[in-house]
Amino acid sequence: MTGILPSTPHLCVVGHPNRGKSSIVSTLTENDSVRIGPESGTTTRADTFEFVINQRVVLQLTDTPGFQRARQVLAWLQQQPVSPAERPARVKQFLQVPEHAHRFPDEIALLTPIMAGAGILYVVDGAQPVTPADEAEMEILRWTGQPRMAVINPMGDVASDENFVQQWQTTLEQFFQWVRSFNPLTANLATRYTLLRAMGELHQSWSGPMRELCQRLEERDHQRLEAVSYAIAQYWCAQITRREPVTLLEKAGLSTAEAALRRALDQQEELFFQQLSRTWGHTTSTLQRQSEWDLGQDTLMNTETWYLWGLKQRDLLLVSGAAGAATGLLVDAGTGGSSMLLGAVSGGVLGSVGGWLAAQQLPGKRLGWLPLTREKHYAGPVQHPNFPLVVMARALTFTRQLWQRPHAQRDAITLRTSAADWTRQEQVQLLQWTKALQQNQWKAKQQTALVNWLSEQLQSAVMVTEA
């Protein structure tokens, strides 16, 4: 059962229509069920969304319709001269007039929860200048007497709208306790935490709960880093060793097995993406496959598209050679050096030759054969040295994007990262791990090293976006 404490922060997100109010609610509550649309009037009633951690509500945000007749409402409030201390009571009188429910339905919907005790998060568009209607909205919100913060949503080009942002900043500071800039479509984790902490300063009873919320979110991200590093490692190892049985009695046995392997590789990538998406609350996210990175019918078997994700032929040759040389050095160490580094030299040559041969093979020839008995063979695992780099690059790039992705962002995720972004040492290491996996020489220390490397990759991505 979800519990709500009396000190749980509750704010109403208000403002003019089509200013990004619902997007801010979606991003701050990590909820992609909040309705978002480019057209005005997507939100037609006040809906409250809860941020729940450990079965406890730690934050409530009420998404409200936009102001429609702010100047008429303010004129009604000012019909009678009242002191500042009497203004909240005057707003309550406005809510109690029966005919106002029909004449001012949107203003009634947004002011009702505010006068019931909710704070105010007022959202404006930094791309638009301040208007008399905006000033009327701000004055009405000041009359409520409730804790209030303003958020400037830079919905347009920041460079061209800089004058408007400054105009908003100066104007808003006259009506609100705090003024912050926040783009719900691009805000990374650090930016979200900063806004949440500022919201906690609006009321003395909210400071502690909001600090606790941010602390719990940071702890969750640490646990997420550890869990997803293991998950990617497990997924990568499974893809690298995946194979399909070949029925030699059938005329098209090999081609059938190859097609099944391609489908399995695609299906497992999609399944892994969907599992991460659901776990992190991105229930509507999709992986963009109809782009220049799409691998088409050949999936991970097409040479030209492989080089978009893996390494170009020259670089692949060098990395393969280095991986072979490093493997050869293990032979030298085992013989006490009596081979005079013959293992390193021969390993480098064989690695280079293997990389060159793999780069020249046709798409249909990139499947390895693993005969387990005289009667049964398998298509796979894929032997092309670019294959493990491609699989890892794709998995890391959509994991990073899902982790940092604001829940208000609903477009498809496009893959961008390539293996060329890693150091030569990292590329060689991945190929060495691949060889150990495919030759059944995988050990616990290698598993730990792979997980630690993945953790560093993800952590560095988070640090870059936070900076």
Q: Please report whether residue 307 resides in a domain.
A: yes
Here the CATH number for the domain that contains residue 92 is 3.40.50.300
171 shares a domain with 280: no
pLDDT tens digits, 431-447: 999 999 988 899 999 99
> pLDDT tens across 393-404, in order?
989 989 998 988
Same domain, 193 and 332: no
- Tell me how crowded residue 100 is: count the other CB atoms within 10 A of its CB: 17
Measuring CA to CA, how many Å separate 110 from each of 46, 95, 154? 7, 10, 23
Task: State yes or no: pLDDT of 77 exceeds 70.
Answer: yes
pLDDT at 331 over 50: no
Q: What is the mean pLDDT of residues 255-269?
A: 84
- Do both 181 and 88 map to the same domain? yes
Q: Residue 285: pLDDT above 90?
A: no
Residue 222, domain member (yes or no): no
Last residue of a domain, one of 170, 205, 240: 205
For residues 32 and 96, membership in a common domain is answered with yes
Q: Which of 4-8, 139-143, 256-260, 441-445 has the lowest mean pLDDT?
A: 4-8
Count of domains forming the chain: 2
Spatial separation of the C-alpha atoms in residues 466 and 100, rounded to whole Å = 46
Q: Does residue 240 sit in the same domain as residue 306?
A: yes
What is the band of 345 on the pLDDT scale with cuts at 50, 70, 90? Answer: very low
pTM as predicted? 0.78
- Is residue 131 very low, low, confident or very high in pLDDT (cuts 50, 70, 90)? very high
Q: What is the domain range of residue 47?
A: 3-205
Rounded Cα gap, residues 315 and 326, in angstroms: 16
In this structure, are 350 and 270 located in the same domain? yes
For residue 52, being part of any structural domain is answered with yes
pLDDT at 111: 95
Identify whether residues 258 and 130 lie together within a single domain.
no
- Report yes or no on 210 lying in a domain: no
Distance CA 207, CA 380 (A): 57
Residue 81 falls inside a structural domain: yes
Those residues whose C-beta lies under 8 Å from the C-beta of residue 39, and which sit 6 or more positions away, are 18
317/417 same-domain check: yes
Task: Classify residue 348: in a domain, yes or no.
Answer: yes
Place 302 in a pLDDT band, splitting at 50, 70 and 90. low
In the listed set 205, 238, 264, which residue is the last one of a domain according to the structure? 205
Q: How does the average pLDDT of the chain come out, rounded?
A: 79
**Do residues 325 and 403 both lie within one domain?**
yes
Is the predicted pLDDT of residue 323 greater than 70, yes or no? yes
Among the listed ranges 91-100, 173-182, 343-352, which one has the minimum average pLDDT value?
343-352
Q: Are residues 380 and 443 in the same domain?
A: yes
109 and 236 part of one domain: no
pLDDT at position 60:
92
Question: What sign does the CA torsion over 268, 269, 270, 276 have?
Answer: positive
- Report the pLDDT value the prediction gives residue 365, as an integer from 0 to 100: 35
Task: Please check whether residue 258 is in contact with residue 287, taking contact to mean a CB–CB distance below 8 angstroms.
Answer: no
Taking the C-alpha atoms of residue 343 and residue 351, their distance in angstroms, rounded to an integer, is: 12
| Residue 219 covered by a domain | no
Q: Is residue 55 predicted with pLDDT exceeding 70?
A: yes
SS3 (DSSP) at 225 = helix
Domain identity same for 458 and 368:
yes
Tokens of 373: 């008995």
Residue 325 counted as domain residue: yes
